[in-house]
Amino acid sequence: MIKITLPDGNALEFDAPVTGRQVAEKISPRLAKAALAATKNGKAFDLDRPIEEDSEIKILTFDDPEGKEVYWHTTSHIMASAVVRLFPGTQVTIGPAISKGFYYDFDRDKPFTPDDLEEIEKEMARIIQEDYSFHRTELDMDNAKKQFSEMGEDYKLELLDEFEDEIVSTYTHDDFTDLCRGPHLPSTGYVKAFKLLSTAGAYWRGDERNKMLQRIYGISFPKQKMLDEHLRLVEEAKKRDHRVLGTQLQLFTITDEIGAGLVLWFPKGAFIRHQIEKFWYEEHFKNGYKLVNTPHIASIDLWKTSGHLDFYSENMYPSLELDNTTYQLKPMNCPFHIMIYKSDIRSYRDLPIRWAELGTVYRHERSGTLHGLLRVRGLTMDDAHIFCSADQMPQETRRVIEFSLHMLRSFGFDKFNIYLSTRPPKSVGSEEQWEAATESLRNTLEEMGIDYEVDKGGGAFYGPKIDVTLEDNLGREWQCSTIQFDFNLPERFNLSYIGSDGKQHTPYMVHRALYGSMERFFGTLIEFYGGYFPLWLAPEQARVLPISEKHNDYARSVADQLHKAGIRCEVDDRSEKIGYRIREAENQKIPYMLILGDKEKESGVISVREHKVGDHGQSNIDDFVRMVQEKVRNKEIFESTTQTEEKS
């Protein structure tokens, strides 16, 4: 007999061996029907793989993140087998599950066409209909290399050369075999609804020096209605794409003439950015921060001392020689803030010190990873660094978390996911330091009653961190705030303060970004709002539209009144028909259109039309001004701003 301990602590006894499927059947028929795989002692495990000893077992369904991963990874294998059937000679490389679906990279000289994707989908449907079982086989390294050599799979051989395990596993369905740790669904028939979404080029291992492969992205679900809803959200996301709206609304551009990943801000985009920065400055002053400013380059010796040349060099630009000194573009602001700290003797009475800067940094992101404003090479970090004593650390961490959530909520975000990121494989510092720092962050989250997930190995090389991601109305996560513990730099730079005992002590240091970067946050806002910015951010809050030329003078007088009241407006008195000008204002997502004709001119009023809502009828100018000013003062977000097209 073996004991199977369930997630709730209850235990069941079975004759050995037992499978996850049998455990699920023992718990409930409903769970057995939904079961996809299991975890055994915390590691993913095939549903029908024998369990020989006492174990902690969790049954995975599609509701579990690990269950989705198994489902999507299995579908990627089905797709790969369909590609090999249809296009003999194509080599398969890797096909992981990702946050929303899966992809597989193929070595094929000819790019896949839309017609190819349709044929692949048809072949996948046949494979699913045939309901092939997945069989796991364990091989020693020599036999594994022999098998994939005979198959002509050069990429699998390259992967095998890097494996440290003596025993590796393969999974087979029908006549398709792939190198894989698993687990997988029991059979291909478990996949009920799927769609291939797009293709792209991708370098092997993400390295530009390697061969360009052909990547196919896809998604799958256990129910057709789930797929239909996902595809609806995909279409909505396309409408909100910040790259498209950035051009449509004349907010920013990125051109080859300037350079990949380097942003040009147009007047409207620059104004919105100014509003975001203005709010940032005001709130930081309220929260006890002081401003600093630092240069864009520094002597390479600074980056040697900080350790960035050892741990971050692949993201740094080549150095330059000036006046017999080697300089480096800065990828981070923190060493500069440290040097400001070192410029004077610090006492415990000075702590905590909170210094903030909107500092532009430069990072050599690979061209394949660049994505509009979300991944750029020149970015402005809303950086701050806190220097404090050990006993001040919990309070300062709590203070930063509260500040971060306040800032994000001010922009209308109300769904957050919190992650505690622990020590990565490549890091500095002792095990004791990491454990103490991680526990400090963990305790703060738990004392605040904040739910969080552990991102194992996701910390920076110099310390654990807390990440705050936003979730929008389409269910997408956006990385924003980071609270980063650092016990590395204070030691490397020999930072100290004089304690109450008259002795020198090393301060604790916290790196902290609330927006993340101005570029990423701006891109997030564009997609969150769909380009329909709330009044306090909108570069043009109202557009005055005289119906004909005889109403132009009245339109200008209305605009003058609005300008004096601090309302940003423009007059569109072109000769085009009023319907055309209204449609153009709608396309530009102007919050309000003020339409002026004979009745409005005679009565000294305005007719108000709201973007995406429609006509509100006539209004007194003073009433309209008060309404706008109140919405700006309260930073109100229009109800339709974050709704999807279906809901709105």
Residue 484 has, within 13 A of its CA and on its CB side, a CA count of 22
Are 179 and 280 members of one domain?
no
Residues 222 and 327 in one domain: no
- pLDDT band, very low/low/confident/very high, at 644 (cuts 50, 70, 90): low
Q: Say which residue, 108 or 368, is predicted with more confidence.
A: 108
Residue 134: is its pLDDT beyond 60? yes
Same domain, yes or no, for 82 and 30? no
User: HEC string of 8-71?
Assistant: CCCEEEECCCECHHHHHHHHCHHHHHHCCEEEECCEEECCCCCECCCEEEEEECCCCHHHHHHH
Q: Examine the pLDDT at 77 and tell me if it is beyond 70.
A: yes
359 shares its domain with 329 = yes
- CATH at residue 158: 3.30.980.10
CATH code at position 603: 3.40.50.800
**Per the domain annotation, does 590 fall within a domain?**
yes
Residue 648 within a domain: no
Estimate to the nearest angstrom the gap between the alpha carbon of 325 and the chain centroid.
38
In which element (H, E) is residue 514 found?
strand 508-517
Q: Which two tokens stand for residue 345?
A: 């003797």
- For residue 610, the surrounding DSSP H or E stretch is strand 606-610
Q: Are residues 300 and 435 in the same domain?
A: yes
128-151 mean pLDDT: 94
Look at residue 232 and tell me whether its pLDDT is greater than 80: yes
Residue 173's domain comprises: 66-236
Q: Is residue 638 part of a domain?
A: no
558: left (phi over 0), alpha (psi -120 to 50) or beta: alpha
Span of 141-150, 398-407, 568-577, 637-646 with lowest mean pLDDT: 637-646
Rounded Cα gap, residues 633 and 297, in angstroms: 39
Phi/psi at 257 (5° precision): -65, -35
Q: Which two tokens stand for residue 426?
A: 């490549």
Three-class SS of residue 410?
coil
- Please report, rounded to a whole number, the percentage of residues in the chain having pLDDT higher than 70: 98
Structural domain count, the chain: 4
| Helix intervals (H) in 342-430 | 393-409
C-alpha pair distances (Å), 174 with each of 46, 127, 133, 219, 224: 18, 9, 8, 22, 25
Separation CA 23–CA 19 (nearest Å): 6
> Residues near 636 by Cβ (< 8 Å), separated by ≥ 6?
534, 535, 536, 630
Q: How many CB atoms lie within 10 A of CB 76?
A: 25
Instruction: Give the tens place of pLDDT for each residue, 282-322.
Output: 999 999 999 999 999 999 999 999 888 887 888 899 999 98
Q: What is the CATH number of the domain that holds 316?
A: 3.30.930.10
76 inside domain: yes
At 647, is the pLDDT very low, low, confident or very high (cuts 50, 70, 90)?
Answer: very low
- For 205, the 3-state DSSP assignment is helix
Buried b (16+ CB within 10 A) or exposed e, 235-265: ebeeebbbbebbeebebbebeeeeeebebeb
Residue 639, pLDDT score: 61
* Same-domain status, 276 and 387: yes
The percentage of residues in the chain with a pLDDT greater than 90, rounded to a whole number, is 79
Q: Going by DSSP bridges, is the β-strand pair 378-388/353-362 parallel, antiparallel, or unpaired? A: antiparallel
Shared domain for 110 and 190, answered yes or no, is: yes
Given a cut of 70, is residue 246 above it in pLDDT? yes
Instruction: Fill in the amino acid letter for 403.
Output: F
28: domain CATH number is 3.10.20.30
Among 211, 236, 261, residue at a domain's last position: 236
Q: Are residues 256 and 398 in the same domain?
A: yes
The reply to whether 98 and 179 lie within a common domain is yes
Are 575 and 582 in contact by the 8 Å Cβ rule? The answer is: no
Same-domain check for residues 203 and 261: no
Q: How much is the pTM?
A: 0.83
* CA angle 140–141–143, rounded 5-degree value: 70
